[in-house]
Structure 1
């Protein structure tokens, strides 16, 4: 299938459920977030103790301030008591220094725990995606998957790193400050907190608005990541340059970037009026306190100057913890969209997984491959679309070289994907070494199969590193042996850096034939008993094809080999040739037998011979 270059939504089909459903409730969200912190219970316990101590210490200075006024500066004797004042000031300095030191320690612990939790979440999500079936990746943009790992997990980093300490510390501070205010004057406390319920209601409404904007923001980020991944890859750049569409791609990225800017501004501004209102409210409280204190004095209620100063100091210290709690609540509401997207992927169940009673491949029967009335339709093919394979049956004996040929779109490559169970059959069964592949352990099944495809994928790494992907512990001698068998050792040795040569993105520093032979060497290093060649030479020129074909002949010796062939000249010596047409095996036999029959194969072969 060709790549779609049209503009589509950043939401993949599997994400629709999460993005269309109602956002999860805060308690449920907190429960799932709390599970992420389970491995760090000890560090969290220390953090909690530090937060409580810091919060407790933070409310002592205002109380000491009242003592400084009423006992040190303006005692009943009328003259300042300097020794007492020095003791109070010294104690206040000790408290400030201790609080600062505890704050640094607490910040280190929360940053360490939060980033480790975020890192573990990212690895957990990456590992879960590795288990997903191939169909998931064929229907989902790579950029969108990358966005889940980078943008979504990164977007909740502040919640993961700051939530625990902020909630504990600020809650204790607010509670202690409230108690201190009650001790100082319960009448003034009523005045100070009377409008708090209104702020809580406003905060919840702001949170819901920000959560909706956050969802749209992440969708836009997914689109931007997808555009970047598509257009800045080597293939994307070549396509854009070939059709002179660089300006179009820049415009497409610019449009989405403008959309992202608008959403970011909306998200940041959506709560500013609320926090401005809170700050104004908390800022004018001292002035109101002074008026109320004067009224209390007129009512003959004993209120000292130290009490008024201490009360306004406590109230001022209440401002930032209270704002902190409200910001955490807003962040949690805003992060619902991000956590929903992350947990939605984590909650996906791979369509293909090991059965409860799965067992390893029987090594004594390795090499035999059998299709028994196999029917297959791609999951996203849609209702009414005929299946790709319709009742396909064949048997390949150990050590045989079997070729599959036929018109484009007949289902040949699908056969090669079903053997290692990259897709699940819709009907019938596939037997590998005598067992249904659905009853085999996937790792064991794939370990015995090697695949060389038409589109060779090499990492942006050295040749040696690309080869060792098949066998991480391979020695240099093993690499060279595999490379010689693939007819590529001499070419590698001619490079200035030899096996340490970096191949470039997707191997673009190498020719097509060189890439293909390195891929063959990689498979030979794996040494599988069953080898699948999916049109491995169809994109090569005649000279490269002959060189690669020699390497393939060496690779297939002594193995069961299944070749998906476009050029029939490469499989004329096959032990058996299966002709696939419209999802069915219409002919099978040797090259001589099929050409003598004068059927589909004979016509295809005659057409190719006439074009030479």
Structure 2
């Protein structure tokens, strides 16, 4: 029997009151600011639209002259000029339309590019804590699905508004010039059209938000179900059927939401179409009534009905843009939510330099608790690690050792106290400067799906091949890589699955060593290695530790016996400190661990 992992409730989840409120309060001014730096190009587009709209208004008047003068009077010369004028108007407006589309699409794509880069950059600045709280598929969905869903709005909205508004105004003026009485008859449809459009927009906004959340859930299922780790888990746990059902149910809910999104308000808009179709008939009836009969020429009537049909198109376009913009507010709300996230680990406003790094590391009464936790993971820790010396952190699993290592790399900031390198608070250092000083090798390795060479060069983009090979040799992995048919150009595979766990870890070690950091943090760095390889790598670490400050976290105490000082961590506190011999002689917690 297959295990059945928890699945989401059937049916589309309704928006919470907070989510509805968030979408409602997206500022149109903020959306407008996305286009600010493209004002010049947009002004050019608007100018093209205005010129096109004015030119297009000439056609009905040319048509009236054809019907009322050129044809009845059999004036061939006038007829030819009028026809050539109609063709010229069509050609010029078509050419201007191509230029307008090119420019407006370029503006839209530039805005989309800026949004994608801004969201990605801002998320890169978030602390590790954000990514431990957020599903990977959710983040990917906002950058791809949500921003992609905004493409039509961002690309076409501004120009659609300008184009339709200009056309509507020009058409209305031309209609009034032909017959102001018939113009009034044509415009009676506006109030119900505006009312119905607002109703439809409200419906689509909520459906759009639900659809994007369902797309995010689908992305999460794909991420969890089709990654190498996810496939291995589902196969070994026999959960393949349950994963497929979860994906199928999510996809079915998307079908329902897509249908609802497309059909929302369709019957209302269909009613408007009937009314629009009836208006020409009313105009013909008005022209034929005894009180108005003979006051309009046939040419004027034909030209007017042509203009009237042309008026409803831009009016409906404007109303359609309103529906599209309102329904997209849910997408903007999700994107702006990410852009408004506070940066927990921020760059200093006035960074301090570290001109000559010695590597003297100090913890001064440091306390830290993970967001949402009431218990401190690190509590009142004070440590002094002189430059060039080694510190080993030992203790039971979950005691806080890895959290201390994360604080050294400034993956988090302490809630109180401070951590310094050569007397400078880590929060006063540029993040890039800190990364060049502190190198971390953790028990969880992550290799990019590219070649071994590019994985190593990730740490130092300008590294030479000789430097890459030297780092690999120091990590005792060079001989293995060199023996492969493609050597350093071997693709490691997704998450490094081309190599064994121990080989992945040695590549990760080489990647860190390539940066030559003054402070080396080894968080269970040899946990995936066999005894013989561990001893070889440990000898390499011993050689590399010369002149460096080294912090080692290990469960196997044999790897830390020679450390200059050993600190025993328990529930986030340092309960013992000393050398291996002194701690064993003290018969305390360390002696128990070493027994």
Q: Same fold (TM over 0.5)?
A: yes
Residues 308-327 of structure 1 aligned to structure 2 (within 5 Å):
308-327=301-320
Q: How does 1:136-147 map to 2 (within 5 A)?
A: 136-147=130-141
Q: Is the 8 A contact 2:196 2:269 kept in 1?
A: no
Aligned mate of 1:380, from 372, 380, 384: 372
Which residue of the partner structure matches residue 294 of structure 1? 288
1:93-152: CA deviations, max 9, x gaps? 111111111111111111111112101110111011111112111111111111111111
Q: Which contiguous aligned blocks of 4+ residues in structure 1 show a shift greater than 4 angstroms?
A: 5-9, 15-18
Return the match for 1:347 from 340, 346, 349: 340
CA distance in 2 between partners of 1:265 and 1:330 (Å): 16
In structure 1, how many angstroms separate the alpha carbons of the residues matched to 2:20 and 2:383? 45
Instruction: Tell me if 1:195 matches 2:212.
Output: no
Q: Which residue of 2 aligns with 1:164?
A: 158
Closer, same or farther in 2 for the Cα pair 1:278/1:544, shift >3 Å?
Answer: farther
Contact 1:430 / 1:436 at 8 angstroms: preserved in 2?
yes
| Residue of 43, 46, 49 corresponding to 1:48 | 46
Q: CA deviation at 1:363?
A: 2.3
Task: Find 1:462's aligned residue among 451, 457, 468.
Answer: 451
Question: Which residues of structure 2 form unaligned runs of 5+?
Answer: 10-14
Q: Distance in 2 between matches of 1:159 and 1:112?
A: 13
Distance in structure 1 (CA, Å) of the matches to 2:22 and 2:392 = 52
Q: CA deviation at 1:162?
A: 0.6
- Supply the distance in 2 between the matched residues of 1:116 and 1:564 (Cα, whole angstroms): 47
**Alignment match, 1:610:** none
TM-score (norm 2): 0.95
Q: Work out which of the residue numbers 458, 462, 469 in structure 2 matches 1:473.
A: 462
- Report what 1:444 is aligned to: 433
**How far apart in 2 are the matches of 1:545 and 1:263?**
55
Q: How large is the Cα RMSD of the aligned pairs?
A: 1.9
Indicate conservation of the 8 Å contact 2:287/2:293, yes or no. no
SS state at 2:514 partner: helix
Q: Provide the C-alpha distance between the structure 2 equivalents of 1:246 and 1:184, rounded to a whole number of angstroms.
A: 71
Report the counterpart of residue 249 of structure 2 in structure 1: 255
**What is the rounded CA distance, in whole Å, between the counterparts of 2:132 and 2:20 in structure 1?**
22
1:213 offset after TM fit, Å? Answer: 0.8
Residues 120 and 249 of structure 1: is their aligned pair in 2 closer, same or farther, counting only changes over 3 Å? same
Partner of 2:21: 21
Mapping 1:71-90, distance limit 5 Å: 71-74=69-72, 79-90=73-84
Residues 110 and 567 of structure 1: CA distance in aligned 2, closer, same or farther (over 3 Å): same
Deviation readout 1:554-594 (Å, 9 max, x if unpaired):
33332101011121111111111111111111111122222
For 1:221 and 1:195, the matched residues in 2 are separated by 38
- Provide the residue aligned with 1:603 in structure 2: 592
Deviation of 1:489 after TM superposition, in Å, equals: 1.3
Q: Give the Å deviation of 1:63.
A: 1.8
Shift of 1:273: 2.1
Cα separation, 2, equivalents of 1:52 and 1:557: 74
- Structure 1 distance, partners of 2:8, 2:432, is 35
Indicate the SS of the match to 1:164: helix
Distance in 1 of aligned mates of 2:24 and 2:355: 47
Closer, same or farther: CA 538–530 of 1 in aligned 2, 3 Å: same
In the superposition, relative to structure 1, how do residues 16 and 459 fare at CA in structure 2: closer, same or farther (>3 Å)?
A: farther
- Which one of 519, 526, 532 corresponds to residue 530 of structure 1? 519
Aligned counterparts, 1:84-123, within 5 A? 84-123=78-117
CA apart distance, 1:214: 0.8
1:65 corresponds to: 63
Task: Please say if residues 360 and 445 of structure 1, whose CA atoms lie closer than 8 Å, have aligned partners that are also in contact.
Answer: no
Measured in 2, the distance between the counterparts of 1:301 and 1:556 equals 104
Q: Does 1:368 align with 2:360?
A: yes
Secondary structure of 1:410's counterpart equals coil
Q: CA deviation at 1:34?
A: 2.3
Question: Which whole-Å deviations, capped at 9, do the CAs of 1:421-473 have from their partners, x for residues lacking one?
Answer: 21121222222221222233322222200000101111000111111111111
Q: Point out where structure 1 has 5 or more consecutive residues left out of the alignment.
A: 10-14, 607-612
Whole-Å separation in 1 of the counterparts to 2:524 and 2:56: 72
Using the size of structure 1 for normalisation, the TM-score is 0.92
Query: Contact 1:513–1:548 (CA<8 Å) still a contact in 2?
Result: no
Show the counterpart of 2:261. Answer: 267
* 1:259 shift after superposition: 1.2
Q: Name the counterpart of 1:434.
A: 423
| Cα deviation, residue 54, structure 1 | 1.6
User: Which stretch shifts more, 351-360 or 221-230?
Assistant: 351-360
Offset at residue 254 of structure 1 (A): 1.0
Alignment pair present for 1:303 and 2:292: no
Is the deviation greater in 221-230 or in 298-307? 298-307
Identify the residue that residue 12 of structure 2 maps to in structure 1.
none
> Compared with structure 1, are the counterparts of its residues 548 and 240 closer, same or farther at alpha carbon in structure 2 (3 Å cutoff)?
farther
Point out the more displaced range, 43-52 or 202-211.
Answer: 43-52
1:263 Cα deviation from its structure 2 partner: 0.9
Separation in structure 1 between the aligned mates of residue 40 and residue 274 of structure 2, nearest angstrom: 40
Alignment counterpart, residue 36 of structure 1, candidates 34, 37, 47: 34
Query: How many Å separate the matches in 2 of 1:410 and 1:234?
Result: 30
> 2:173 is paired with a residue of what secondary structure?
helix
CA deviation after TM superposition for structure 1 residue 600, in Å: 1.4
- 8 Å contact from structure 1 (residues 18, 344) kept in 2: no
What's the offset of the Cα at 1:59?
2.1
1:12 maps to what in 2?
none
